[in-house]
């Protein structure tokens, strides 16, 4: 069974405030990782508190990744270190914030959703990013992400990542998130294609469940992807000095990727809708076929049963009963009637 | 049962005029509350008449809240004190006015709808707000609102409310109204989620009623929320000197909240529509299954009943009747026919 | 029964030309009423011919109302007196002209539709208005309108009507027409609300007829109201010197009224559509329930009828027939089978 | 039966090229008619070849009408005489060109579709027009059009046609084409109105065919009318010196006519869609009613047939059979059961 | 059976990367063809490696066509020769790139989809084009295309192709691709027209399959054609010096062709949807007809069977049995009841 689940538990450990739902401090430890790098060197370390989460000195780049936004105080302290506005902090802490890019001169706050295909269904996780002139701070809801290859590129110095600025790192991170959307979409496409072929010939109620869940997931995916499209478009056309000319072309490339995601969502949605229509039509066709069988049988045998019922009556004075031709006549009538009926139904294409 | 009810009684106590429906004077007392505050002090009092409802002297802020717009004369007098245009007064008195923000240099008139989840359904109440340079006048249809926390902030002086101007108070009021929309939406979401899982397996007519009411409520919610979105956008992009630069960022935040409300309404609407489609398909599937049972039973036993009917006839000359193998033969034919039929239906997946 | 009827009779007394359908001269007299007024005095008179229908002398205002556009010559002569372009005259004569506002420097021609709720249905009547610097000429299809209160205001001098120019009078006329739309909408809303509650529980074919007629009426209403919205918007944003600055605010107010009319039409349309969906689902549910009853009865009794049919056969050699336990056994089997079946259906929720 | 037929025969006499489908030379003669006129005189003649199809001398106007675009060479020669671009010539020769107005300084090429209501259905014919400073060349697919009245106006000199330029003639031609659309729409409206009333009470399968054909025709009409709207709008807002200021007002008038055509198409489409929905609901209602009759009959008589079947058994030991109260008892049980059932169904509104 | 197949095999030989799916090197040889031509001469040759794939010397034009994008290295080397940006190279290598035109000063990269109608269904193949000042490089997925006539024009020197620049060649290539879309659409149109006429009278389940496949193909076609429309529009309105003024008119012509493709897709889509609706209605009508037959038969004969069952009972004391009028009476009642029922059903239009 497929299911859309977010990691928020219903009602428990969640504070409802004017800003939506805040994710509360959880037992699990928050994990902070700091990457310091420039074209020639790099350093990676895990820290415990918000004290070391500060902007780097000029000439080097810093990527701070924080797994766990449940620790409200920690997030607020880190944000204070980077002089982030209180409303932006609220957006980071609230994991239902709509994807968007907020440009406030000193930094750009980018909020996106990461999608994971875990056992019971799709998991939506919020990724918040503070993009400054030479640093990036990323906030995730939990440990585990799709940024492994990017970390490796920093570690090994392969590619242009270490040579380029923080905006290029932001591009790489967004790109990794968007590319991961295709994995979800491919799995959905396979699911509907499994059903599609059988739906005309052998429609089964389980297909209804799958189609319903697919439709529901698409509704949520749209909510995640449409604003992401605006987000990337905003970044690409933004005139912020934080995004260099050379990075704009890469953002434009992501933009085309997201459009393809949107296209694919619409295609899957249309196919699911069409399949549901075909399913309904198939059921009607099947019911019609069942009805025909019933009607053929009933139309042939119910009148004949009446006929033989007549001669099953116990009236004293029924002259036909004593005649030798009585029984063969009735049998003859029965067979003639049945054959006539069958011919009629054959002509009406009921058989 | 869910029901959308406004507090207007149908036909009674309502004057129909060219401006729509005016709410008439009712027995209940109108309640007027005045808050006078500045950064250091505050005063709260209830007054009886419109005489004290006048703009405050410079340097202090005043929030006048009037519960009850049935007293047309009182509202008109208060509005006259603040030099409000007669068309705006008509909009305030008419509780079917479309949400909007009217900027007329000296003041901005903001009209919104508050939603309450009361026993029989959702109640729509109009909130009108006159935002002046150092005052706000709010008109509500009845006593009881969601502004308790804001009043507490004024009383205790917590937060930046007392230090900021009337535009910040307006922001807080609009924010409280918009945040309350989420409560309604959460309750609707729960309702549809309750139905959703069962609809494929066990569709019941009560679900139809609930889905119909949800759809209807969503139609009305849209009518309330869509213009509210325009309203907040108008405020946020307005260049009125009444709204300070620092408040604009807060309004932008509300704007994103309202977009999320709009998104959520569309999501619930899509889910309800999909669920209705699935419901209809489920019913078709069930009818098809019922038909199959009927057809299987009828197809097996109706012909056999005819067969035994033949040998129930009382003809004198029916040679088979006297043969010892007659009865076993008929029994044999019956069992063979039944087994053949069952096999056939098994292959056709009817069983 | 509800029906959309226009006062045009089909084919008779109507000339088809390149401009649409002209309404021909009819036996009934055309009624011409002239109001001459200024801030201090007023004069009202009925005239017979077009000779007196001329622009007034400066400093006074004139409202000429012509009931009956069937008299083509008369309309043309009056229009000639006011130097109206021949295409505009054609629009006035053709009662299928789309609502619009034509600004041609010397005058603005406003064409709207008035809606009446008469016995067999809704009647659409065209109102054409020539708005000049100090005069208004209105053309109606027939006697009877919603302008009574406006005439009274001219007669009594109450309000600002006599003090204001012809553009304010135009506002009052348009406002009266638009406000009347709400009467139609309220009656439609009541009709659908009458049906709505019963549709799930007790769907009846009459509801289909009502819903179909409502949908059709809404289609025509949209055709009337949507262009009226553009019309009012055009007037409100027009920079014609014929519309004074002070009147623009009133036109803006009408604009919000029309938007509410549009909203209400969409709401009623959505509710009717939803109700039709629910109706169809309800019928499916009911058919399913009926099928279950039939299937339960047939499944229990058809096999048993076959069983008792066996022992109704007249074979000589049927050992069971002579045994004393034969009859009780058959009865026992029958009861057991029936109870088993009922239990099975009970578990399947068919009972 | 209604059918959308174009005069192109499938496959035969048609060359498929990169530009679409060219209509090939046919046996029938091409008919060329030339009108030379100015304010005081006119001359009408039929010519055989393209030689005389040249621009007129200054001060006079010329209208060349060519019926038959199958003669590719002739069309190309005429176009060469007027220096028409080769791409435009291709558009004229291809009768599937989308309606459009091409402004190329020296001339405007206008391509429209004429609709005829002939026996088996609607015929779409392409009209191409080359509008020059003092000439118009029109190309039609075949003899016969709606321009009779315009020819008469040139012949008699009535109206302003001969006094006005070629752009006014173009207006008259376009106007004649657009006005003819209403004839088609009126016939469609009548067809759907014939069905509408009966659809709830007496839905018949023939209605399905009519509705399907109407929907299909509307799809094609839209394809013809929507681009025609753009075309007229382009002309009306074009700043070409070929269209005089005085003609623009007339084009604006056509524009409103086309909008009415578009509105009417949408209205008919909506009514047909609604009627189809109602049709489907009606069929469901009728099926439900039929099912109820079947179920009532079966539920009453099938159990009773079983009951009497019991006492039709030939067991030796059936004590009831010999009792005098046996027969009346069974009759009594039967009548009681039937009455009970009928009462039950009456209460369930099944009767 | 129709099927949409792309030449990509699922999972095998395909590398999933952040850019989508790359097509891997395949055993088949890549085929490179170079056309060198100017107004007076031309040379055609096949080469093996990327070494000769370089820009031509000034004054001559070069068209390099590469069939097979599986050879990543080769494509990259060729692209390097023409200084193509690495992101553009990735787009060329990924055969799921969305159609688009990328203008980067030195060259324009045009990516389109070619459609082929091969046995099992429609095949989508990507065509990438690098348009430089005097060269064009085209990349295709496999050997075989629709450019035969264009090659012939280069070889023979017919038309303006050799005299015009590389932008005119690009126009010819795009035109060939777009015109080929009509072949696909014509085949789809024929398929739906085959079904359309029979769907009301004789709806068969196979039609469901065809309609479902048509709908799915239309969904994919849209995805191919809509961005192609933007692409051509971008080219036509681009101010790139690579596209000469004289070519713009030809691109405008393609633009109108693509709009016709879009229109046709929408028309086919609407017809398929309508046909599906009609299909569903037809099935309902047929089921209703079958139900009526069943109900008529059952309603007439089930009660009569009960009646004759009564007199088949073996009670000792059944006075009617011994009366001579008993049997004729029962026969009379039966015939009367049957005739009455038939009359009733006749009046209800069930027969």
| DSSP bridge partners of D36 | D43, D62
Give yes or no for a contact between D112 and D225, defined as CB atoms under 8 angstroms apart: no
- Residues E64-119 have pLDDT tens digits of 999 888 888 889 999 999 999 988 999 999 888 899 998 888 899 999 999 888 76
Give the model's pLDDT for residue B110. 95
Judging contacts by C-beta atoms under 8 Å, the chain B residues touching residue C278 are 208, 211-212, 276
Give the model's pLDDT for residue B111. 94
- D292 versus A4: the higher-pLDDT residue is D292
b/e code A2-13 from CB counts within 10 Å (16+ = b): bebebebeeeee
Helix (H) or strand (E) holding D334: helix D326-347
* pLDDT-based confidence at residue D96 (cuts at 50, 70, 90): confident
Asked whether residue E167 carries a pLDDT value surpassing 70, the answer given is yes
Instruction: Classify A45 as helix, strand or coil.
Output: strand
Torsions phi, psi for D52 (to 5 deg): -85, -5
End-to-end CA distance of chain E: 39
pLDDT one digit per residue (tens) for chain C, 351 residues:
223 433 333 333 333 333 334 444 455 678 899 999 988 888 999 998 888 888 998 888 999 999 888 888 889 999 999 999 988 999 998 888 899 998 888 899 999 999 888 766 788 889 999 999 999 999 998 888 889 899 999 998 888 888 888 999 999 999 999 998 998 898 888 889 888 878 888 888 888 888 998 998 899 899 899 999 999 999 988 888 899 888 888 999 999 999 999 999 999 999 999 999 999 999 999 999 999 999 999 999 999 999 999 988 888 888 888 888 888 888 999 999 999 999 999 998 887
Judging contacts by C-beta atoms under 8 Å, the chain E residues touching residue A271 are 216, 219
Give yes or no for a contact between D15 and D21, defined as CB atoms under 8 angstroms apart: yes
Tell me how close the Cα of D202 comes to any Cα of chain C, in angstroms.
11
Cα–Cα distance for residue pair C46/C52, rounded to 1 Å: 10
How far is residue B225 from each of residues B96, B110, B111, measured CA to CA in Å? Answer: 14, 14, 12
Cα–Cα distance for residue pair A109/A98, rounded to 1 Å: 12
Nearest chain A alpha carbon to E217:
A271
DSSP code for B316 = S
- Residues D99-132 have pLDDT tens digits of 999 888 889 999 999 988 876 678 888 999 999 9
Give the model's pLDDT for residue B5. 34
Mean pLDDT throughout D176-186? 90
Tell me how close the Cα of A266 comes to any Cα of chain B, in angstroms.
14
Please list, in sequence order, all residues whose beta carbon lies within 8 angstroms of the beta carbon of residue C263, skipping any fewer than 6 positions away.
B98, B223
Give the model's pLDDT for residue C26. 55
Please list, in sequence order, all residues whose beta carbon lies within 8 angstroms of the beta carbon of residue D334, skipping any fewer than 6 positions away.
D304, D307, D308, E306, E310
Asked whether residue A143 carries a pLDDT value surpassing 50, the answer given is yes
Tell me how close the Cα of B136 comes to any Cα of chain A, in angstroms.
22
Judging contacts by C-beta atoms under 8 Å, the chain D residues touching residue C211 are 278
Mean pLDDT throughout B58-80? 89
Considering only CB atoms, C317 lies closest to which of B305, B314, B324, namely B324
* pLDDT-based confidence at residue A119 (cuts at 50, 70, 90): low
Give the model's pLDDT for residue C233. 92
Considering only CB atoms, B285 lies closest to which of A276, A283, A308, namely A283
CB contact under 8 A, D297 and E302: yes
- E7 versus A324: the higher-pLDDT residue is A324
Q: Which of A142-156, A282-296, D9-23 has the lowest mean pLDDT?
A: D9-23
Query: Mean pLDDT of all residues in chain E?
Result: 85
Judging contacts by C-beta atoms under 8 Å, the chain D residues touching residue C291 are 291, 295
Torsions phi, psi for B206 (to 5 deg): -60, -35
Give the model's pLDDT for residue E343. 93
Tokens, residue C308: 């008792």
Give yes or no for a contact between D127 and D112, defined as CB atoms under 8 angstroms apart: yes
Give the model's pLDDT for residue A343. 94
Nearest Cα residue to B135 out of B285, B283, B242, B288 = B242
- E341 versus B19: the higher-pLDDT residue is E341
Tokens, residue C166: 């012809």
Considering only CB atoms, C312 lies closest to which of B308, B324, B334, namely B308
How far is residue C53 from each of residues C28, C38, C69, C168, D89, measured CA to CA in Å? Answer: 20, 18, 15, 21, 55
Q: Angle formed by the axes of helices E245-310 and D205-237, to 10°?
A: 160
CB contact under 8 A, B308 and C306: yes
CB contact under 8 A, E327 and A306: no
CB contact under 8 A, E281 and D208: yes
Mean pLDDT throughout E262-268? 92
- Mutation target for D interface from E153, E299, E311, E314: give the one with most D CBs within 10 A: E314
Give yes or no for a contact between D316 and C322, defined as CB atoms under 8 angstroms apart: yes
Cα–Cα distance for residue pair C242/C239, rounded to 1 Å: 8
Please list, in sequence order, all residues whose beta carbon lies within 8 angstroms of the beta carbon of residue A269, skipping any fewer than 6 positions away.
A215, A218
Give the model's pLDDT for residue C61. 92
- Residues D277-289 have pLDDT tens digits of 999 999 999 999 9
Tell me how close the Cα of E109 comes to any Cα of chain A, in angstroms.
14
Judging contacts by C-beta atoms under 8 Å, the chain A residues touching residue E205 are 200, 282, 285
Dihedral sign computed on CA atoms, order A174, A175, A179, A180: negative
Asked whether residue E19 carries a pLDDT value surpassing 90, the answer given is no
Asked whether residue D153 carries a pLDDT value surpassing 50, the answer given is yes
Judging contacts by C-beta atoms under 8 Å, the chain B residues touching residue C281 are 208, 276, 279-280, 283
Judging contacts by C-beta atoms under 8 Å, the chain D residues touching residue C203 are 285
Q: How many residues can be counted in chain E? A: 351
b/e code D183-210 from CB counts within 10 Å (16+ = b): ebbeebbebbeebbeebbeebebebbbb
- Residues B75-117 have pLDDT tens digits of 999 999 999 998 899 999 888 889 999 888 889 999 999 988 8
Judging contacts by C-beta atoms under 8 Å, the chain A residues touching residue E284 are 284
- Mutation target for E interface from D207, D327, D337: give the one with most E CBs within 10 A: D327
Instruction: Classify C114 as helix, strand or coil.
Output: strand
Cα–Cα distance for residue pair C292/C307, rounded to 1 Å: 23
Give the model's pLDDT for residue C62. 93
Cα–Cα distance for residue pair C176/C116, rounded to 1 Å: 12
Give yes or no for a contact between E145 and E114, defined as CB atoms under 8 angstroms apart: yes
Instruction: Classify A124 as helix, strand or coil.
Output: strand
Mean pLDDT throughout A314-340? 88
How far is residue B11 from each of residues B293, C63, C196, measured CA to CA in Å? Answer: 54, 35, 20
- pLDDT-above-70 percentage for chain B: 91
How far is residue C328 from each of residues D313, D315, E72, measured CA to CA in Å? Answer: 12, 10, 87
This model of the complex carries an ipTM of: 0.80
Give yes or no for a contact between A194 and A270, defined as CB atoms under 8 angstroms apart: no
Judging contacts by C-beta atoms under 8 Å, the chain C residues touching residue D306 are 301, 304-305, 308, 334
| Helix and strand numbers, DSSP H then E, in chain E | 7, 10
Asked whether residue D255 carries a pLDDT value surpassing 90, the answer given is yes
Tell me how close the Cα of A182 comes to any Cα of chain B, in angstroms.
22
For chain D, the chains sharing at least 3 beta-carbon pairs closer than 8 angstroms are C, E
Tell me how close the Cα of C246 comes to any Cα of chain B, in angstroms.
12
- Mutation target for C interface from D189, D218, D306: give the one with most C CBs within 10 A: D306
Q: Angle formed by the axes of helices D205-237 and E166-201, to 10°?
A: 150
Judging contacts by C-beta atoms under 8 Å, the chain E residues touching residue A295 are 290-291, 293-294, 297
Mean pLDDT throughout B281-309? 91
| Helix and strand numbers, DSSP H then E, in chain A | 8, 10
- Give the ranges where A119-204 is alpha helix by DSSP (H): 148-156, 166-201
Cα–Cα distance for residue pair C238/C245, rounded to 1 Å: 11
Mean pLDDT throughout B128-139? 93
CB contact under 8 A, B219 and C270: yes
Asked whether residue B350 carries a pLDDT value surpassing 90, the answer given is no
Give the model's pLDDT for residue A26. 55
Give the model's pLDDT for residue C316. 84
For chain A, the chains sharing at least 3 beta-carbon pairs closer than 8 angstroms are B, E
How far is residue E71 from each of residues E45, E92, E95, measured CA to CA in Å? Answer: 20, 12, 13
Considering only CB atoms, C299 lies closest to which of B205, B212, B294, namely B294
Asked whether residue B19 carries a pLDDT value surpassing 50, the answer given is no
D4 HSE (CA, 13 A, CB side):
18
CB contact under 8 A, A96 and B349: no
- Mutation target for C interface from D172, D180, D202, D281: give the one with most C CBs within 10 A: D281
Considering only CB atoms, C302 lies closest to which of D175, D284, D302, namely D302
Tell me how close the Cα of A254 comes to any Cα of chain B, in angstroms.
24
- Mutation target for A interface from B147, B275, B283, B309: give the one with most A CBs within 10 A: B309
Tokens, residue A192: 């509907």
Give yes or no for a contact between D196 and D268, defined as CB atoms under 8 angstroms apart: no
Question: Of A36-40, B107-111, B163-167, E39-43, which has the strongest mean pLDDT?
Answer: B107-111
DSSP code for B43 = E
How far is residue D210 from each of residues B89, D121, D122, D214, measured CA to CA in Å? Answer: 55, 12, 14, 6
Asked whether residue A324 carries a pLDDT value surpassing 90, the answer given is no
Considering only CB atoms, D309 lies closest to which of E196, E281, E309, namely E309
CB contact under 8 A, D275 and C326: no
Tell me how close the Cα of A274 comes to any Cα of chain B, in angstroms.
12
CB contact under 8 A, A317 and E326: yes
Please list, in sequence order, all residues whose beta carbon lies within 8 angstroms of the beta carbon of residue C82, skipping any fewer than 6 positions away.
C53, C54, C55, C107, C130, C132, C135, C137
Give the model's pLDDT for residue E231. 92
Asked whether residue E207 carries a pLDDT value surpassing 70, the answer given is yes
CB contact under 8 A, A291 and E293: no
CB contact under 8 A, D271 and C219: yes
CB contact under 8 A, D314 and C311: yes
Query: Mean pLDDT of all residues in chain A?
Result: 85
Nearest chain E alpha carbon to A307:
E305
- Residues D317-346 have pLDDT tens digits of 888 888 888 888 889 999 999 999 999 999
Judging contacts by C-beta atoms under 8 Å, the chain C residues touching residue D315 are 311, 320-321, 326-327, 330
CB contact under 8 A, B281 and A208: yes
- D-to-E residue pairs, Cβ atoms closer than 8 angstroms: 138
- B-to-C residue pairs, Cβ atoms closer than 8 angstroms: 136
Considering just the CA atoms, what is the radius of gyration of chain A in Å?
Answer: 34
Give the model's pLDDT for residue D26. 56
Please list, in sequence order, all residues whose beta carbon lies within 8 angstroms of the beta carbon of residue B284, skipping any fewer than 6 positions away.
A280, A283, A284, A287, C284
Nearest chain D alpha carbon to E268:
D219
The whole-model pTM stands at 0.84
Strands (E), chain A: 3-6, 14-17, 20-23, 31-37, 42-47, 61-67, 100-103, 108-118, 121-131, 135-140
Cα–Cα distance for residue pair D4/D13, rounded to 1 Å: 20
Cα–Cα distance for residue pair A99/A221, rounded to 1 Å: 12
Mean pLDDT throughout A68-77? 86
Cα–Cα distance for residue pair E7/E70, rounded to 1 Å: 12
Give the model's pLDDT for residue E28. 66
Tokens, residue A258: 């997201």
Mean pLDDT throughout E133-148? 89
Please list, in sequence order, all residues whose beta carbon lies within 8 angstroms of the beta carbon of residue C74, skipping any fewer than 6 positions away.
C30, C49, C50, C66
CB contact under 8 A, A87 and B285: no
* pLDDT-based confidence at residue E226 (cuts at 50, 70, 90): very high
Give the model's pLDDT for residue A197. 78
Tokens, residue E212: 């479902």
How would DSSP label each residue in C55-90? Answer: PPPTTSEEEEEEE-S--HHHHHHHHHHTT--HHHHH
């Amino acid at each position: 069974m497929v299911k859309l689940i977010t990691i928020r538990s219903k009602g428990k450990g969640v504070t409802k405030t004017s800003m939506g739902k805040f994710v509360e401090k959880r037992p699990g430890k928050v994990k902070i990782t700091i990457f310091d790098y420039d074209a020639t060197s790099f350093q990676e370390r895990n820290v415990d508190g918000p004290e070391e989460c500060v902007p780097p000195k000029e000439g080097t780049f810093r990527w701070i990744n924080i797994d766990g936004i449940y620790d409200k105080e920690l997030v607020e302290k880190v944000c204070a270190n980077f002089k982030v506005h209180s409303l932006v902090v609220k957006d980071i802490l609230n994991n239902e914030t709509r994807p968007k890019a907020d440009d406030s001169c000193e930094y750009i706050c980018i909020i996106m959703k990461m999608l994971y295909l875990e056992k019971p269904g799709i998991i939506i996780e919020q990724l918040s990013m503070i993009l400054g002139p030479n640093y990036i701070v990323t906030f995730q809801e939990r440990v585990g992400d799709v940024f492994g290859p990017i970390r490796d590129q920093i570690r090994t110095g392969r590619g242009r990542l270490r040579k380029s600025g923080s905006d290029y790192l932001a591009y790489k991170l967004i790109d990794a998130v968007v590319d991961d959307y295709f994995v979800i979409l491919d799995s959905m496409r396979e699911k509907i294609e499994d059903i599609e072929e059988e739906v005309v010939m052998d429609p089964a109620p389980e297909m209804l469940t799958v189609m319903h869940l697919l439709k529901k997931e698409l509704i949520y995916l749209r909510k995640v992807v449409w604003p992401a499209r605006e987000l990337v478009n905003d970044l690409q056309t933004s005139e912020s000095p934080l995004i260099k000319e050379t990075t704009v072309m890469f953002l434009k490339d992501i933009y085309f990727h997201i459009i393809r995601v949107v296209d694919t969502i619409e295609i899957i949605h249309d196919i699911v809708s069409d399949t549901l229509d075909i399913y309904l039509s198939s059921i009607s066709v099947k019911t019609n076929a069942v009805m025909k069988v019933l009607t053929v049988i009933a139309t042939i045998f119910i009148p004949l049963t009446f006929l033989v019922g007549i001669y099953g009556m116990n009236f004293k004075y029924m002259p036909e009963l004593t005649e030798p031709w009585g029984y063969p006549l009735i049998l003859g009538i029965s067979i003639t009637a049945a054959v006539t009926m069958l011919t009629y139904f054959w002509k009406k294409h009921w058989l």
